[in-house]
Amino acid sequence: MNNAANELENWLTSNALTAADGSWEPGFDADRQLILIKIGPFSRLFLRPEKFVKRFYHQVYPLNIEDWRFDKQITLFDDFCQVTIELQIRFQATLNYVQKNSELLGTINDHIKQTYAGVLDEVIDTELQALTDASWVQTGLAEIEKKIASSINELLMVQAIQSQTLCHMTASFEEFPDVQWGRENVYLAVLKKTFEITEQKNKELFRQQQALEQEALAEKQQKLEQLKQAAEVERQIQAQLAENDRLLLEDKAAHLAKQLDIEKRIHAEQIKHEYELKEMALEAELRLQEKHKARQRLSESRDLVEQLAHQAEQDDKKTLAEIRRQELQQQRLREAEQKNHVQQSRQSKEAEAEPADKIRPHNAEQH
User: What would the mean pLDDT of 314-318 be, rounded to a whole number?
Assistant: 85
- Which of these three, 285, 313, 329, is where a domain ends? 285
Mark which of 139, 173, 207 sits at the end of a domain: 173
Predicted confidence (pLDDT) per residue in 111-146, tens digit:
888 988 888 888 888 888 877 766 677 677 888 888
Could you tell me if 147 and 214 lie in one domain? no
Domain boundary among 285, 303, 323: 285
Domain shared by 128 and 269, yes or no? no
User: What is the torsional sign of CA 192, 195, 199, 205?
Assistant: positive
**How many domains does the chain fold into?**
2
Q: How much is the pLDDT for 69?
A: 92
Long-range Cβ contacts of 223-228 (<8 Å, 24+ apart): none
- 325, part of any domain: no
pLDDT of residue 23: 55
* Residue 83 near residue 69, CB atoms below 8 Å: no
Return the higher-pLDDT residue of 189 and 327. Answer: 327
Mean pLDDT of all residues belonging to the chain: 77
In a domain, 139, yes or no: yes
Q: Are residues 74 and 101 in the same domain?
A: yes
Lowest mean pLDDT among 25-39, 176-190, 250-264: 176-190
Residue 290 within a domain: no
Residues 33 and 133 in one domain: yes
Identify which has the larger pLDDT, 37 or 87. 87
8 and 142 in a single domain? The answer is yes
* Domain presence at residue 338: no
pLDDT for residue 284 is more than 50: yes
Could you tell me if residue 263 is inside a domain?
A: yes
Residue 75: strand pairing partners: 82
75/153 same-domain check: yes
Q: What is the mean pLDDT of residues 267-294?
A: 88
42 burial (CB, 10 Å; 0-12 / 13-18 / 19+) is exposed
In a domain? residue 275:
yes
- Looking at the fold, whether 137 and 72 belong to one and the same domain comes out as yes
Note whether 144 and 209 are same-domain residues: no
Model-level pTM?
0.44
Beta strands in the chain (DSSP E): 33-39, 42-47, 58-62, 66-76, 81-93, 161-173
**Could you read off the pLDDT of 220-272 as tens digits, one per residue?**
777 777 777 777 878 888 888 888 888 888 888 888 888 888 888 888 888 98
Residue 291: inside a domain? no
Range of the domain at 221: 185-285
Q: Do 199 and 260 fall into the same domain?
A: yes
